Amino acid sequence: MQTIVLTGAAGLVGSVLRAPLRRAAKRLILVDRAPLTAEAPNEDVRQADLTSAETVAPIIEGADAVVHLAGIPDEAPLPSLLEANVLGAHHVLEAGRRTGVPRVVLASSNRLTGCYPVTTTVSPEMPPRPDGLYGVSKVAVEALGRLYADKFGLRVVCLRIGSLEAEPTEPRHLATWLSPRDCAGFVLAALTHPDVRFAAAYAVSANTRAFWELTDDLGYRPLDDAESHGIAGGESFFAEGTPQGGGYADPVYTLLRGGLAASA
């Protein structure tokens, strides 16, 4: 590819993807509200807030694809999530429509289905069961992606990103871990697969205890498995009735972080 735009480039996922995307494109445009410094001749750094389609359009015009990661990455009050995650995605998609960018990869989340029990294998076609307000915002992001694919012809891939860590560190990661190597593999596949019009896919490593069905829509098969890291406590976490979101699905998590009033 000639040009890839990466929003949210200073974040955790963006930092993991920076080098692989730099190798995959002749030009990599890195966008974040935080200051960044170019690390290679083919990097172009832009400090910007994605506050409107008019702001985004000149940044992405002429690009082959946008990988949109910018947003709030965890539970927060719903107005903040709507502004940063839902409106931010809409601004990128709308700017892509206006400027003719052919493909957008959107960061969705495994927490879009975090209220399914651990004993259920979830496919991308199953109804959302978000484990919090953050998950709700990602339901809306995926709906926007589908709209722009169906109505305006953009190629859109929504990646339901797992627990991205250098190594798994807790029992839930036995199912949800996404290694940096597999993260790059999924994103590069989402950018290059020729037959995609719209796809929602889980981006997770090949964990033995995975909750989620991995499809062949993107043509990438993950390589790593959390089971090989010797994480203890799996038996208790994977007990009947436990939600896949673990602590994220606890009501207190949303009450404290989502700005909701406690019950009387």
Identify whether 165 is part of a domain.
yes
Of the candidates 132, 122, 151, 130, the one whose C-alpha atom is nearest the C-alpha of residue 212 is: 122
Strand partners, 161: 109, 203
Task: State the total domains in the chain.
Answer: 1
With bands split at pLDDT 50, 70 and 90, how would you rate the model's confidence at 262? low
Identify whether 84 is part of a domain.
yes
What's CA 55's distance to the chain center, in Å? 22
Identify whether 50 is part of a domain.
yes
Residue-wise pLDDT tens digits, 23-66: 999 999 999 999 999 999 999 999 999 999 999 999 999 999 99
For residue 1, the model assigns a pLDDT of: 87
Strand partners, 65: 4, 103
Identify whether 133 is part of a domain.
yes
> Sign of dihedral through CA atoms 215, 217, 219, 223?
negative
Tokens 């950018």 belong to residue = 191
Q: How does strand 27-32 pair with strand 43-47? A: parallel
Residue-wise pLDDT tens digits, 205-238: 999 999 999 988 999 999 999 999 989 888 889 9
Q: For residue 55, what are the domain limits?
A: 3-257
Identify whether 264 is part of a domain.
no
Rounded Cα gap, residues 112 and 119, in angstroms: 17
Identify whether 262 is part of a domain.
no
Q: How does strand 198-203 pair with strand 155-161? A: parallel
Residue 102's CATH number: 3.40.50.720
- Is residue 20 within 8 A of residue 184, CB to CB? The reply is yes
Residue-wise pLDDT tens digits, 9-22: 999 999 999 999 99
Share of the chain above pLDDT 90, in %: 93
User: Can 220 be counted among the known catalytic residues?
Assistant: no
Element (H, E) at 220: none
From 134, 148, 202, 220, the catalytic residue = 134
Residue-wise pLDDT tens digits, 98-146: 999 999 999 999 999 999 999 999 999 999 999 999 999 999 999 999 9
